[in-house]
Amino acid sequence: MGKDIAATKETAENLEPAGSESQPAARRAWYNIFSVLAWLPAYQPKWLRADLIAGVTLAAYLMPAGLADASLANLPPEAGLYACLFSGLVFWLFCSSQHTAITVTSAISVLVGASLGDLAGGDVSRFGALAACTALIVGGLAFIAWLAKAGVIVNFISESVLVGFKCGIALFIASTQLPKLFGFKGSHGDFWERSGYFFSHLRETNMTSLLLGLGAFAVLLLGKRFLKNKPVSLFVVIAGIVAAATMDLGTLGVKLLGQVPQGLPPFGLPAVHVSDLNDLLPLALGCFLIGMVETAALGRTFAVKHGYRFDANQELLGIASANVMAGLGHGFPVSGGMSQSLVNESSGARTPLSGFIASLLMLLIVLFVSGALRYLPQPVLAAIVLMAVMGLFRVTALRHFWRADRTEFVVAIAALLGVLGSGLLRGVLIGAIISLVQLLRRASRPHVAWLGRIPGTRRFSDLARHPDNEPVPGALLVRVESSLLYFNAEHVRDTVAARLHAGTAPPKIVVLDLSASPHMDIQACGVVMNMADDIKAAGARLQIVEARSSVRDRLRAEGIEEHVSQVNRFTSVADAVEDFQKNRDQ
């Protein structure tokens, strides 16, 4: 399958080469916007069967996911169906990934549900309007990011932040769903309040609800083990509806989903005030960042596995269109869903057409089947949510961070505790801020390597890593392994000064190797000139070698040659060392 997809991509990219120079710019612009124009003309009829099967299977996963995540968002169940339906109708036209499925997700859903309560003030219709408006703002942010070609910003949300955030989300979701599984009403508040309420009210457990929920959970668990990537959750939903309708479980105290409107909602802008936009912006930004990172991670994974090119910036346009449609269709924010995308891929999807097929099937469900969902027992829905939560809590990832890098572990735990103690939005922000602070700390303290000659060669490398390297008597050879910028140049200067005065025999020359420094700003140039003066005051001289062209230009423009000898592109570390030894021996 991977070779077929790669061949499709290659064929699509070569559809217009012969006359592309003369092709109107407007037409090329349409190709850059609508990625479907690149692969659809090369679509092979033999792929349709695979896309149909994948689309049917995906739809079977989207329906229970939409219902479950709508409950996490504190929205009526139809909101989840509408979000999956309308977003899927357009995402396939713009996306870069061949397998990513757009859907509601647990992380974003619980973020929406936990953030809009105060703004809505208990008004259910206003809550839905605010959720839909949040999706529109997410779409706007994604569109702006696409215009700015800001796909690279996904790299600034670290994996440790996401792991910690998802683990915190998993625990928070569990605290909201366990009361439903046990058949009694839950409480509001953060994780600790909900957990305390749950344990203090266990005596109110409805045994019929608990047995039904545990049975559904057991079937889901067995399905995950023995029927991997099969729509077991759809079977559980159908079985729950049939059991509730035939056994009249409502009379036994089992709470049912309730009435789900049949048909499509009025399509248009949600009824919100202009003043609400500022209040919704932080939530929308959080949803956008989470959705963008998760969608890009999925796209990269599938692209590597199947050998095609993934464009993170193009995916932003897909996220923008999907969220705008979800908002106009009375849904809530969406992004690429991990389990749904894996189901789509494992079912044999060849192209994004499978997502469109799944959306058409969702349309049929909304038009003709949604009325029967009113019999779905809440404990069954809670079991489906709890099963999804198990994939969010990644103990193995936390254990790996603990073994491999304690600082990454600290970031993950900070995000986790932030979610549990300060709320979902603050939790991800806390983790992101700590991650950025650590990134800045690393950048402000770049590695400064002290070089020695590799035995028998004219090459020099780090003495700390290679103790068998030969130091050069009377010379201090230093290589800065990063760009020299305003926030790290003083660290380099202090490090060199400390080494300069550490030995009993001060060096006569300091050779500064800038081959690993691709950029230098004005302030760093000033620091380098001050360092040259420090070295001169210590009875030695500074020689700069192997600087790149942009760095040489910057140094000359700032007057470096008043402080050191000529900076050129010809002298290497070995040349400087040999020249020093020759002059010293004379």
pLDDT confidence of residue 24: 61
Q: Which residues pair with 256 in a beta bridge?
A: 377
Given 405, 437, 469, the domain boundary residue is: 437
pLDDT band at 299 (very low <50, low <70, confident <90, very high): confident
Q: Among the ranges 17-26, 312-321, 344-353, which has the highest mean pLDDT value? A: 312-321
Q: Is residue 1 part of a domain?
A: no
Alpha carbons 427 and 191: distance in angstroms, whole number: 12
The answer to whether residue 178 sits within a structural domain is yes
Residue of 240, 283, 338, 10 lying closest to 131 (CA atoms)? 283
Are 430 and 456 part of one and the same domain?
no
Shared domain check, 383 and 453: no
Q: Are residues 410 and 475 in the same domain?
A: no
**For residue 248, how many C-alpha atoms fall within 13 Å in the half-sphere facing its CB?**
1
Give the residue from 414, 437, 460 where a domain finishes. Answer: 437
pLDDT digits (tens, 9 = 90+) for 419-477: 888 776 677 677 778 777 878 888 899 999 999 999 999 999 999 999 999 999 999 99
Residue 4 lies in a domain: no
User: What is the reported pLDDT for 163?
Assistant: 85
What pLDDT score does 391 carry? 76
Q: How confident is the model at residue 159 (pLDDT cuts 50, 70, 90)?
A: confident
Specify the amino acid at residue 162: L
Q: How high does pLDDT run on average in the chain?
A: 87
Q: Are 403 and 507 within one domain?
A: no
Say if residue 382 is in the same domain as residue 433: yes
pLDDT band (50, 70, 90) for residue 4 = low
- The pLDDT assigned to 150 comes to 83
Q: Supply the range of the domain harboring residue 402.
A: 44-437
Residue 506 has pLDDT above 80, yes or no: yes
Q: Which of 404, 437, 470 is the last residue of a domain?
A: 437
Structure tokens at 126: 């206003």
Could you tell me how far CA 69 lies from the centroid of its own chain?
19
User: Is 67 part of a structural domain of the chain?
Assistant: yes
pLDDT at 23: 53
pLDDT, residue 17, reads 42
Note whether residue 96 is domain-resident. yes
Within-domain flag for 3: no
The secondary element (H helix, E strand) that includes residue 26 is helix 25-33
| Domain identity same for 376 and 263 | yes
Determine the pLDDT at residue 158. Answer: 75
What pLDDT digit, counting tens, does each position of 376-428 carry? 898 998 888 888 778 778 889 999 999 998 888 988 888 888 888 877 667 76
75 and 121 part of one domain:
yes
Residues 114 and 216 in one domain: yes
Per-residue pLDDT, averaged over 492-513, amounts to 88
pLDDT in tens, 82-98: 999 999 999 999 998 99
The structural domain count of the chain equals: 2
Which of the two residues, 498 and 2, has the higher pLDDT score? 498
User: Do the beta carbons of residue 250 and residue 310 sit within 8 Å?
Assistant: no
Residue 38 lies in a domain: no
**426 and 289, same structural domain?**
yes
Please tell me the distance from the alpha carbon of residue 324 to that of residue 465, in angstroms, as a whole number: 53
Write down the pLDDT at residue 11. Answer: 44
Residues 153 and 264 in one domain: yes
- C-alpha torsion angle, residues 559, 563, 566, 567 (rounded to 10): -70
Q: Do the domain assignments include residue 470?
A: yes
Greatest CA span in the chain, whole angstroms?
105
Do 149 and 295 reside in the same domain of the chain?
A: yes
Give how far Cα 559 sits from Cα of 496, 515, 554, Å. Answer: 21, 20, 9
* Confidence band of 125 (pLDDT split at 50, 70, 90): very high
The answer on 407 and 324 residing in a single domain is: yes
Q: Which residues contact 218 (CB under 8 A, 6 or more apart)?
A: none
**Which has the minimum average pLDDT: 15-19, 124-128, 174-178, 463-467?**
15-19
**Percent of the chain beyond pLDDT 90?**
48
Rounded Cα distance between 121 and 538, Å, is 71
Q: What's 539's domain CATH number?
A: 3.30.750.24
How much is the average pLDDT of 108-119?
89
